[in-house]
Chain A
Amino acid sequence: MKKITLIFASLFLLIGSSCVNDLETKPKVNLSLEDLLASDPNAIEGILAKLYASYALTGTDGPGSADISAQDPGESGFLRAILNLQDFTADGMKNRWGDGGLDPLTTASNWTDNNKFFRLFYDRAYYTIPQCNNLISILNNNTFENSDAIKAEARVLRALSYFYIIDTFGRGVLATEENLGQTTPLPESSRIELFNYVESELLDIEGVLPDRISYGRVNRFVSSMLLAKLYLNAEIYTGTPRYNDAVIQLEKIINEGGYTLDPNFVQVFSGDNDSSPEIIFPILADPVSNQSYGNTTYIVNGNMNSATMPTLDFGNLGGVFAWAGHRATKSWYGLFGNSAAELANASDRRAGLFWTDGHSFEMNDYREWTDGFPSTKFRNSGANSTISASEFSGTDFPLYRLADVYLMYAECALRGATNANMADALTYVNLVRNRAVATPITSGELTLDFIIDERARELNLEGHRRTDLIRFNRFTGSSYIWSWKGGTFSGSAIPESYKLFPIPISALNSNPNLQQNPGF
């Protein structure tokens, strides 16, 4: 009996020990870091590419995939979220779909912490950050060629996401490579703490980044522009104005960057804008290899509708590929004229970038497609070359461009930056206006009120508007009213608390250290 027991015991052990190793299964298609580094000499660049792609693509498995949970993966892209949060909440653009929480954005009313659009942006930013942390940690623990420069790029991309957290939500955790993998919830960092972190990060890497790497990659001037944006809004973010510091960064871009205004305004927003000399930092798109419902496809297709527009003229295929969603409002095109005819006759080329046929000037009902003019500023057709219409847009998004730098410089000068001068400011503003074939202004006309309007004419639909209005104290309260602000046609005041978005309920649920913003 004992013998038999022994035989069986050893038999079981034998089988057990030889088979249990099979528990360690391997995917073969997806690779561990070790395998990846062994199989692809450029693996680190491939990981870096994903950090950039997090600003353009929604996922890794085609346009129907999402890095973060989203019922409609197409909604989970960075750029789409920025448009939703920065432009639709403001005066110049509205969306008519109203689905699942878009109405509260477009009418700047009824904001709640369970609106999925807040969550989608928050989750996107906090997706990009750990992906950056992961690469930075890999670079810290291994030796690679070019390691420092790549790490610096990753740090800028991470700082960019933190910038948006500072701007939109005003608080959040500070996740870095130091606490990568930690599962206990991190403490909350205040807006000032996040501000200081982003500033120190960007200052720290200034000497490492080259002037140019290749088109689309972060360089020294992208970092400067991000710093300048941070300083320009510092008074809002921290209570302390930093206009002088902003000017220092802007001057670096103007004097050392080598960027020039594109002689053709339309080219900056066309399918061939990759050759534009004006763009400092683009978010790339390609109709085949870089497909997303969340990048410029959202802007181009969203402003198109076959029912009223010749969509093919803008490189859009029409039909189901024209989504009939977005239209500009008179708060934008009203800055060029008071009717469709006036827009048509304006010399300012920017006034011609609206589709007026079949549409009414006034937006009586933001849900009615024909109320308001769709913006044709962004298009998928080429400005200087022929580009075929396609389902996905190939137009790169100019997140940072020289015209913005010029207008920011002028604004700093007007806000009392001692290291800026008004003569240069006027020159820069008129460079922007001249390029658009708009009448140059005089030094007397150069006021802050002019700047905020010029920023609308020049930069609307580029993801800056809400931040700008807040900086000019025109977003909340009743000092500036636009149609559908506060949920009414004539517009109404909205509370001060709307300078920040509510922290998504899912974030509060998963990290008890987080506080909700006041008023929500």
Chain B
Amino acid sequence: MKTIFKRLLLALLFLPTIILAQSTVTGTVTEQATALPIPTVNVIIKDTSRGTATDFDGNYTLEVENGDVLVFSYIGYLSQEITYNGQSKIDVSLVEDAAQLEEVVIIGYGSVKKEDLTGSVDLVTSKDFNKGNIVSTDQLLQGKAAGVRITNDGGSPDSNPNIRIRGSASLNASNSPLIVIDGVPLGNQNPAGNSNPLSLVNPNDVESFTILKDASATAIYGARASNGVIIITTKKGTSGAPKYNFSTDTTVSNGGNDLDIMDSENYVRFINQYFPDKVELLGVPVGSVQTDQPISQIITTPSGDRAIYDTDWRENILRTAITSNTNFGVNAFLFDLLPMRASVGYTNAKGIVIEDDYERFTGSLNLSPKFFDNNLKVNLNSKLVYAEKNAIDAGGILGNAIGFNPTQPIYNNAPDNRFGGYFQNTIVEGNNLITDGQINPLSLAEQRDRPESVKRFLGNIELDYTLPFFPDLKIVTNLGLDASKSNIEERFSDNSVQTYRFDQTNSDIDSNFVFNPGVNYRETQTITNTTFDLYTQYRKEFETGFLNNFDVQVGYSYQNFKTDGIKQIFNYNVDSGLREETVNPDNLNNRYFNEYNLQSFFARSNINLNNKYLLTFSVRADASSLFVSDDIWDSDVWGFFPAAALAWKVKEEKFLKDMASINDLKLRLGVGQTGQNDITGAVGFYPSTPFFQAGNANSQYFPNSSLYAALPFNPNLTWEKTTTYNAGLDFNFFKNGLINGAFDIYRRETTDLLAKAPVPAGQGLTNEFIDNIGSSESKGFELNLNLRPIVTETVELSFSGNVGYNKTEITDLEGADFLEAGGNLRGTGTTLLYHKVGLQASSAWVLKQVYDTAGNPIPGAFVDLNGDNEIDNDDRYFEQIAPNWTYGFGFNFNYKNWDFSSGFRGQVGGHVYNQTKLNFGFTESAIPQNASSLTNVLNFYTGAANPAFTDYSNQNVVYSDFFLEDATFLRCDNITLGKRFDNMIKDASIRFYASVSNAFIITDYSGQDPENFGGIDGSFYPRPRSFTFGLNLDF
């Protein structure tokens, strides 16, 4: 591999450059319909790479020679060719291409014109992107493509996006789509210190997303393509005069007041009413605390007077966060030969939880020169990213902020306070003063630093060579590298409550404690993912005859993913209380090492018959290292994935050809198979071969002896296979494409599901292991619809919308009725989610709550569904978590230089479990079992919680469907207003805009946020409402 790469680089260096003497031509390009000038039209001399682009007044200047053919092209318009014969001025007016279908769509291993697509493919380009508070690339796409559901884990700047295309087909294998950035498929492991792989690409560099949904489109990616493919293409260099873009924006974000917990006054009332014997736990003893915070009242209790403070803990850990983005990009045609785009970007994002800081620097370079009379096209992309964040313990901070007693102060500067000025609840246990109950959430946030940084390089070089002596044949090779290095360090400051320990050799309560500031954890990780593709394409066009053209591709693809890391782990000495490094003699650096390899051979043919019938056939053979037990040629290792598709361009038929109201009509049919092998999340990287694992430093048995466990494995693992049947219709009706869109309907069957299933007892090295069992089936449809009711010189109005329906159901689990799917509720072993035959994967298994005549729930009373006078598991029923219906819609309105747009998105159905209500919605939540300090609760006086729920003594209460609520919602993602000024600065266009993100949400859900990927809503990081102001300067 390495030598090939080096040779290609060498070849690049010796490429010749040719520059000739020329004369000059100028002109203006206008739109025929409006006579308005069109900026950035490409003006290229045919069969060369020389050219320029028009400026903002539509003017261009170009060096030419007699006989040169000038090609004027612009997306959405028909190209024009004019031969230069010494004219001093060539003015051109371009005609809008009614169908607007000249867009080229990048598909796997090549690209096609959109009109020639045969599969179900969505193209989302920059004009459709979400606007406003955008930190990561996935946010551009949310709600923009039918059947694509993107649910992030919350409002943190680096939160994991959870992308699902057409639902989830797999159980324990990955359900995430394959993401390919400029020809480099991303690995299945995020770099350490990064939660969102798409935050490592600057959103400002993204040109388009191509989403491959059906098998005929994805099949060419075979392995890893079962869940669809998202191809991200970044901006490329163009020929012409240099163009610069500068953009900057600033966002102000606020967390909503989304949780109704008790304030101090209500809490005093609540404790007095429900737990009068606990009033001496309200506030603090008068005089025991020194703080600037005013005392709101003093109450008298049997054990003395108590000072009551008024602390809104949640308000104190949330903040108004400022985020800024600055980007600079340049497009240039270097040496009249080398189209280049380069950009730099800087993002400084703050989460709305304190200390949640994120910073990112990006740089990108694209070079796309052509050589040897355009026979060799080179495309070189490189992206460099450095991201650093302070990884806060968001769950702990948010959870403790809900639970911390609101009558207690934030700070305590009394000399006897040990905890760095933070107020903490303490009790005396023997000779030790121990902390009790909730931990001060501000101390959790502020006394710990956990910088996590990632340096990443993502780059590729693609060579596309057409054989000069045989122009029908070309050979394309692509070398890609995705390499990252992560550093994590966790440090505590002085007097951090989290490092508070006891010196057990000292029995003096006033001096027997120690704090352990400094480094508590370290991890370093490198990821090296390499890609190599090589394919050859033979393409033949025919001037006459029924066979219009065809091509055949044959290729090979190699992907290797390597993760190597070390950790430094500490523990606290039980005698001295001091932190000591945990040394594992069998693995000194706590190293981990994963390597994963995929290789494929593929072939594809596209056939165009009479320009009406388009046929695509593809077949691919994939091998995965995950399935290698001893022989790499074993049939388990290799999967064969064929696909076929037919598109009928109905519009080209005689009976429609002349019908002006129909611009396009195309019917698509496809069937194909894809494979899934990614089970690394469930069983690691070596599931097919026997290995031994050394016990870690805490898992030894005999002193001075090693410990080795034989790891479970399954030598019979093979590919999970998904067959998709898809029928689609692309349409474009009436003038200016008044109505256009696409409709797709599909069925998908997955067999040999990779799932964790019980192993026959005694016959495996564990009780449950991954195996190919069972099957699932999905059905659904998607509609993309765009309306352009007003298209005039000065006013343009367009609407776009999409809706997707998907229903996936497990059809077989090989004898098992259901498998646990996780989702712990409260205490151990309280599982909510199961995979059950006949239902959607990960459905909630709950009991039906009984309500009284007034509609209030009767705690602990459940409907005896099977009528056996006992409430047990047999009375539980299933509700789905993921919705069947997802949708998004928006509009764009342009009036002269003004633009106004908005985007909405939502789901119909699906459920979310209100875990906050479970944990803080019982009156006895206030008096925890394990502590003698009070815990705050939801507001029982406003209906946020129901005082009929007193305690958890009924163990079934956690399974009540009272906590499981409908998750239907409609969210206004963004509203943006902008104005462009063309003449404010000479030769420049500047646009100012203001945007509000997450403007509002409409839902019946009583908890924090119904949009929840795992279906359990507890200690959720609020999604902020953000206001963005920005400017965009083109010159």
Contact = CB atoms under 8 A, between A and B. Distances in A.
Given A15-B534, A389-B504, A33 B690 contact: yes
A46 B690 contact: no
A43 B708 contact: yes
B234 interface: no
A322 to B, nearest CB: 8
Given A68-B766, A307-B932, A510-B760, A26 B595 contact: yes
A4 B473 contact: yes
Contacts of A97: 827
Contact of B763 (A36, A46, A185): A185
B762 A129 contact: yes
B699 A47 contact: no
A99 B830 contact: yes
A507 to B, nearest CB: 5
Nearest to A322: B930
A126 interface: yes
A21 B760 CA distance: 33
B593 to A, nearest CB: 4
Contact of A49 (B1, B632, B700, B822): B700
Contact of A100 (B505, B601, B830): B830
Interface stretch (B102-110, B751-759, B996-1004): B751-759
B692 interface: yes
Interface string B590-617: 0111111101010000000000000000
Contact of B766 (A46, A127, A367, A391): A127
Given A23-B628, A287-B574, A8 B702 contact: no
A318 B435 CA distance: 11
A391 B756 CA distance: 33
B558 A19 contact: yes
Contact of A67 (B597, B758, B766): B766
B44 to A, nearest CB: 31
Interface stretch (A83-91, A109-117, A140-148, A338-346): A109-117
Contacts of A28: 591, 593
A29 interface: yes
Interface residues of B, number: 99
Contacts of B929: 324, 369
B599 A23 contact: yes
B829 A123 contact: no
B989 interface: no
Contacts of B303: none
A31 B698 contact: no
Contacts of B764: 130
Interface in B516-555: 532, 534, 536, 554
B831 A71 contact: yes
A85 B1000 CA distance: 53
Given A25-B685, A62-B696, A509-B816, A172 B766 contact: no
B829 A116 contact: yes
A319 B759 CA distance: 39
A50 B708 contact: yes
Contacts, number: 305
B767 interface: yes
Interface size class of A (residues with CB under 8 A): 35 or more
B162 to A, nearest CB: 22
Interface string A10-49: 0110011001111111111111110010001011011101
A95 B95 CA distance: 82
A23 B639 CA distance: 14
A217 to B, nearest CB: 8
B705 A46 contact: yes
B873 A290 contact: no
B852 interface: no
B828 A75 contact: yes
Given A53-B695, A509-B815, A183 B761 contact: no
B526 to A, nearest CB: 13
Interface stretch (A237-245, A309-317, A327-335): A309-317
Nearest to B815: A509
Contact of B820 (A60, A71, A123, A388): A71
Contacts of B434: 317-319
A390 B691 contact: no
Nearest to A64: B698
Contacts of A230: none
B599 A72 contact: no
Contacts of A307: 932
Contacts of B953: 367
Interface string B743-778: 000000000000011111111111110000000000
A23 B623 contact: yes
Nearest to B695: A60
A186 B763 contact: yes
A360 to B, nearest CB: 18
Contacts of B762: 126, 129-130, 172-173, 175, 186
B637 interface: yes
B931 A21 contact: no
Contacts of A439: none
Interface in B689-714: 689-703, 705-711
Contacts of A317: 429, 434
A50 B824 contact: no
A317 B100 CA distance: 73
A519 interface: no
Contacts of B701: 49-50, 52-53, 56-57, 216, 284, 290
Contacts of A52: 701-702
B767 A289 contact: no
A59 interface: yes
A247 B204 CA distance: 83
8 contacts: A15-B532, A32-B691, A49-B695, A49-B702, A100-B828, A289-B698, A291-B698, A388-B574
Given A507-B760, A509-B815, 13 more contacts: A12-B601, A15-B556, A16-B601, A23-B637, A31-B708, A36-B692, A61-B693, A62-B699, A284-B702, A289-B700, A306-B429, A367-B953, A509-B758
Interface of A: 1, 4, 8, 11-12, 15-16, 19-33, 36, 40, 42-43, 45-47, 49-50, 52-53, 56-57, 59-63, 65, 67-69, 71-72, 74-75, 97-101, 103, 110, 112, 114, 116, 122-123, 126-127, 129-131, 134-135, 172-173, 175, 179, 182-183, 185-186, 214, 216-217, 284, 286-291, 306-307, 310-313, 317-320, 324, 367, 369, 388-391, 506-507, 509-512, 514
Which 5 A/B pairs are nearest by Cβ-Cβ distance?
A100-B829, A175-B762, A312-B430, A46-B706, A72-B828
